[in-house]
Chain A
Amino acid sequence: MTTPGAVRSETPLLEVTGLEVFLPTGRDSEIQAVRHVDLVVRDGERVGIVGESGSGKSVTGRAIAGLLPTSPLVRVNGSIRFGGTEMVGAPSSEWDAIRRERVGMIFQDPLTFLNPTMRIGKQVAESIPAARVGRDKRARLAEVHKFLGKAGFENPEQVATSFPHELSGGMRQRVLIAIAIAKLPALILADEPTTALDATVQQRVLSTLDETVAELRTAMILISHDLAVVAGMTDRVYVMYAGRIVEEGPTEQVLEDPQHPYTQALLRSVHSITEPDTELYSIPPSLRRELNAEVDRAS
Chain B
Amino acid sequence: MLLEAKNVSKVYRARRSSGTVQAVKDASLRARPGEFVAIVGESGSGKSTLARILLDLIPASSGSVELDGVPIEKLKRQGRTRYRSVVQAVLQDPAGSLNPRKRVERAIGEVVRLHGIARSSADVRAKVLEVLELVGMSPAQPFLDRYPHELSGGQRQRVLIARAVALNPQIIVADEAVSALDASVKAGVLRVMAELKERLGVGYVFITHDLPLVKKVADYVYVMKSGEIVEHGPKDKIFSAPEHPYTQTLLAAAPVLKAPKKP
Q: Which residues of A are at the interface with B, using a C-beta cutoff of 8 A?
A: 52-53, 169, 198-203, 225-229, 231-232, 255-257, 265-267, 269-276, 279-283
Contacts of B255 in A (CB 8 A): 199, 202-203, 226, 228-229, 232
Q: List 14 A-B contacts (CB under 8 A).
A: A52-B182, A53-B182, A169-B43, A199-B211, A199-B250, A201-B42, A271-B257, A272-B187, A273-B190, A280-B188, A280-B191, A280-B194, A280-B216, A282-B184
Cα–Cα distance between A273 and B43 once the two chains are bound (Å)? 22
Contacts of B153 in A (CB 8 A): 53
Which residues of B from 30 to 61 have beta carbons under 8 Å from A? Answer: 42-43
B186 proximal to A (CB < 8 A): yes
**Using an 8 Å CB-CB cutoff, how does the interface string of B174-187 with A read, 1 for contact, 0 for none?**
00000000111111
**Which residue of A has the minimal Cβ distance to B186?**
A273
Main secondary structure of the interface of B (DSSP, over half): helix
B122 proximal to A (CB < 8 A): no
**Which residue of A has the minimal Cβ distance to B182?**
A52
Contacts of B211 in A (CB 8 A): 199
Q: Are B253 and A280 in contact (CB-based, < 8 A)? A: no
Q: Are A271 and B259 in contact (CB-based, < 8 A)? A: yes
**In the complex, which of the residues B216, B250, B260 contacts A273, with contact meaning CB atoms closer than 8 Å?**
B216
- Top 8 A-B residue pairs of the complex, sorted by shortest distance between their CB atoms: A282-B188, A198-B42, A228-B255, A269-B184, A52-B182, A228-B257, A200-B253, A199-B253
Task: Knowing A53-B182, A169-B43, A198-B42, say if A273 contacts B187 (CB, 8 Å).
Answer: yes
Q: Are B257 and A255 in contact (CB-based, < 8 A)? A: yes
**Using an 8 Å CB-CB cutoff, how does the interface string of B226-259 with A read, 1 for contact, 0 for none?**
0000000000000000000000011001111101
Interface size class of B (residues with CB under 8 A): 20 to 34
Cα–Cα distance between A232 and B257 once the two chains are bound (Å)? 9
Q: Are A273 and B209 in contact (CB-based, < 8 A)? A: no
Q: Are B43 and A198 in contact (CB-based, < 8 A)? A: yes
Cα–Cα distance between A102 and B213 once the two chains are bound (Å)? 39
Contacts of A256 in B (CB 8 A): 260
Which residues of B from 165 to 212 have beta carbons under 8 Å from A? Answer: 182-188, 190-191, 194, 209-212
Q: Are B259 and A274 in contact (CB-based, < 8 A)? A: yes
Cα–Cα distance between A219 and B153 once the two chains are bound (Å)? 33
Cα–Cα distance between A276 and B218 once the two chains are bound (Å)? 11
Cα–Cα distance between A280 and B183 once the two chains are bound (Å)? 10
Contacts of A231 in B (CB 8 A): 257
Q: Are B260 and A257 in contact (CB-based, < 8 A)? A: yes
Q: Are B187 and A281 in contact (CB-based, < 8 A)? A: yes
Cα–Cα distance between A266 and B260 once the two chains are bound (Å)? 14
**Most chain B C-beta atoms within 10 Å of own C-beta, residue among A200, A266, A276, A282:** A282
B113 proximal to A (CB < 8 A): no
Contacts of B185 in A (CB 8 A): 52, 282
Cα–Cα distance between A226 and B217 once the two chains are bound (Å)? 20
B215 proximal to A (CB < 8 A): yes
Contacts of B215 in A (CB 8 A): 274, 276
Q: Are A270 and B216 in contact (CB-based, < 8 A)? A: no
Nearest Cβ on chain A to B218's Cβ, whole angstroms: 12
Nearest Cβ on chain B to A56's Cβ, whole angstroms: 14
**Which residue of B has the minimal Cβ distance to A200?**
B253
